[in-house]
Amino acid sequence: MAPALPMIALATTVIGTGVSVAGSIMQGKREAEAAKAQAKLSSFQADAEIKRGDREEDVMRIEAARLVGQQRAAYAAAGVRLTGSPLLVMAQTIQDSEKDITMLQEETDARALSFRMQSRIFEDTATQAKTSSYFRAGSTILTGIGSGISTWKEMKHG
């Protein structure tokens, strides 16, 4: 019965190594899938941010046009000609609105860029998770081979 123990130990080493290798690769695969899902979500958030900014820009333009229209109507109702100061007031209203829209666009672009950068980081994380799982698996194989050789030597000389 004693001679069977080294053979059992060798078989256990081989099986344990195989299970550990498979576990390492599966773990890396799961981590990569999770990171890819996060990358997709970040990319979706970037696209949604751009769309939100576009909608907000449209609303701001409509409000600016409405305000200039109200100014024009108020001047006309008061009998004021649209030259000089009244025209400058309306031009300033448009200019202020365009500054606000430009700031909105810059903020929107910055937020979208942040989401896109997150997406790239998650994509890199996915690649690294897969790669590191292969290295862990390779290390486990080498350790298992070393352990198996030691057990085999003990069987031969024991």
The mean per-residue pLDDT over the stretch 81-102 comes to 94
What is the distance in angstroms between the CA of the first residue and the CA of the last residue of the chain?
14
What pLDDT is recorded for position 3? 64
The mean per-residue pLDDT over the stretch 113-118 comes to 97
Least confident of 11-20, 44-53, 56-65, 93-102: 11-20
Read off the pLDDT band of 1 (50, 70, 90).
very low
What pLDDT is recorded for position 30? 94
CATH of 4-157, one of 1.10.10, 2.30.30, 1.10.3470, 1.10.287: 1.10.287
Share of the chain above pLDDT 90, in %: 68
* Domain locations along the chain: 4-157
Can you read off the two tokens belonging to residue 47?
A: 């696209």
| CA dist., res. 26 & res. 130, Å (int) | 9
Q: Determine whether 36 is exposed, middle or buried from the number of CB atoms within 10 Å of its CB (0-12, 13-18, 19+).
A: middle
Read off the pLDDT band of 158 (50, 70, 90).
low
Select from 89, 90, 72 the least CA-distant residue to 81: 72
The mean per-residue pLDDT over the stretch 49-65 comes to 97
The length of the chain, given as a count of residues:
158
What pLDDT is recorded for position 7? 78
Pick the more confident residue, 20 or 110.
Answer: 110
Backbone dihedral region of 79: left (phi > 0), alpha (psi from -120 to 50 degrees) or beta? left
Query: pTM of the full predicted structure?
Result: 0.74
Q: What share of the chain is helix, strand, coil (3-state, %, to 5)?
A: 95, 0, 5
Residue 53 has pLDDT above 60, yes or no: yes
Rounded to 10°, the helix 4-77/85-157 angle is 180
Q: How far is CA 50 from CA 39, 97, 105, 120, 123, in A?
A: 17, 19, 9, 18, 21
Pick the more confident residue, 16 or 109.
Answer: 109
Can you read off the two tokens belonging to residue 46?
A: 């970037």
Contact 116, 42 (CB under 8 A): yes
Query: What would the DSSP string read from start to end of 5-52?
Result: HHHHHHHHHHHHHHHHHHHHHHHHHHHHHHHHHHHHHHHHHHHHHHHH
3-state secondary structure of 4: helix
The mean per-residue pLDDT over the stretch 75-89 comes to 90
